[in-house]
Amino acid sequence: MRVLITGGAGFVGSHVADQLTARGHDVLLLDALLDTAHGGAGAPDWVSGHQLVRGDVRDAGLLGELLTGVDVVCHQAAVVGHGLDPSDAPLYANHNDHGTAVLLAALHAAGVRRLVLASSMVVYGEGRYACEVHGEVRPGARTRAELDAGRYEPPCPLCGAPLRWRHVPEDAPVDPRSTYAATKVAQEHLAAAWARQTGGHVWALRYHNVYGPRMPRDTPYAGVASLFRSALENGLAPTVLEDGAQCRDFVHVRDVALANVLAVERAGAEGELTPVNVCSGEPHTVGELATELARATGGPSPKVVGGARPADVRHVVADPARARELLGFSAEVPFADGVAAFATDPLRAPVASA
């Protein structure tokens, strides 16, 4: 099949391109090569073997040219990460939501009916929790006063009792807690409307905490693994917020790329958007990640500093069952092996070099 990958020179997109090509697919990459992701360094060496067009997914005319003969679009292009503060909202909405809307209109015009959308675990907000008395409940947002006092675990909203986290399935309600999360929810809604209107199908792959080679570095839009790695390279202790016990589902980028390949190769039900967790299903704490990276690099031990960023959530660990059932996907890279390799994996050029 011929596959257009938007954001194809990026962290995830480049790995998707490599795996699709290895399986015999015809791949075309589109990437704006934004400084916030590429540090002003232009196209990275690892996409030199692919056909790359430098351009913006918001350019309808360019999309019209590129979509000729395309069977599936793998939409990775987005501004990602926690960002700075609400002043980032126009940036996120413009690239993520307006860009997706332009792409969907171009797909309709070109008659392309299959889309693989890079979504995110951030659409869930807090994960799934249960109270011993009230069963499954949805905790509210943690207040600044609670965080400042070191009360990090969300209490039961009905009785105030401690909660136990549970694996989050795809039918959990969406509850975005950040600007980035809100744009990811909007992308899914736009794509679902497109599917219903055209009879197309969308796999909405909800990536959990992705790490691995080619991550962007030294940028507020980078993931926590990259931030820890940069600190260690500079001889500094990784800074861990809260108490380090917040659980996440860390999934290696090679596994994320495999999930995309399987979605490209498997048609879904017409007129539907199908959300799928791309995850390991295994809980690991942020503190554990920092400790393992420090050990692998021989660097200083992590420094737990308390506090939290606005809109941070406590525990999000995913249910991998649907990915196994519908895509035949299971994460293959063990956490310990992936983190040990990540200690020396090549990262994206620092943004400071722009």
Residues paired with 128 in a beta bridge:
166
What pLDDT is attached to residue 217?
82
Identify which of 311, 262, 280, 305 has the alpha carbon closest to the alpha carbon of residue 89: 311
d(CA 45, CA 77): 19
What pLDDT is attached to residue 354?
35
Specify the residue for token string 């909800």: 206
d(CA 276, CA 204): 6
- If pLDDT is split at 50, 70 and 90, which confidence band does 351 have? low
Could you give the percent of the chain with pLDDT greater than 70? 96
| Tokens (6 digits) for 278 | 């791309």
DSSP class of 351: G
d(CA 187, CA 93): 10
d(CA 51, CA 130): 49
Find the helix or strand (DSSP H, E) in which 191 lies.
helix 179-198
Identify which of 179, 14, 193 has the alpha carbon closest to the alpha carbon of residue 95: 179
Length of the chain: 354
DSSP string, 229-259: HHHHHTT-PPEEEBTS--EE-EEEHHHHHHH
What are the tens digits of pLDDT across the range 234-292? 999 999 999 999 999 999 999 999 999 999 999 999 999 999 999 999 999 999 999 99
Residue 296's contacts (CB-CB under 8 Å, 6 or more residues apart) are 339, 340, 342, 343
What are the tens digits of pLDDT across the range 294-311? 999 999 999 999 999 888
Could you give the percent of the chain with pLDDT greater than 90? 85
- If pLDDT is split at 50, 70 and 90, which confidence band does 38 have? low
- If pLDDT is split at 50, 70 and 90, which confidence band does 221 have? low
Asked if 276 and 203 touch (Cβ cutoff 8 Å), the reply is yes
What ranges do the domains of the chain cover? 2-127+168-343
Predicted confidence (pLDDT) at residue 40 exceeds the cutoff of 90: no
Average pLDDT, the chain: 94
Predicted confidence (pLDDT) at residue 37 exceeds the cutoff of 80: no
Identify which of 183, 68, 169 has the alpha carbon closest to the alpha carbon of residue 117: 183
Q: In the CATH hierarchy, which top-level class contains the domain 2-127+168-343?
A: alpha beta
What are the tens digits of pLDDT across the range 188-216? 999 999 999 999 999 999 999 999 999 98
What pLDDT is attached to residue 352?
44
What pLDDT is attached to residue 327?
98
What number of CA atoms fall less than 13 Å from residue 204's CA on the CB side?
Answer: 25
Helices 224-233 and 335-342 pack at an angle, to 10 degrees, of 40
Classified as helix, coil or strand, 29 is strand
Tell me what the mean pLDDT of segment 46-62 comes to. 96
Asked if 121 and 161 touch (Cβ cutoff 8 Å), the reply is no
What are the tens digits of pLDDT across the range 133-173? 999 999 988 888 999 999 999 999 999 999 999 999 999 99
What pLDDT is attached to residue 271?
98
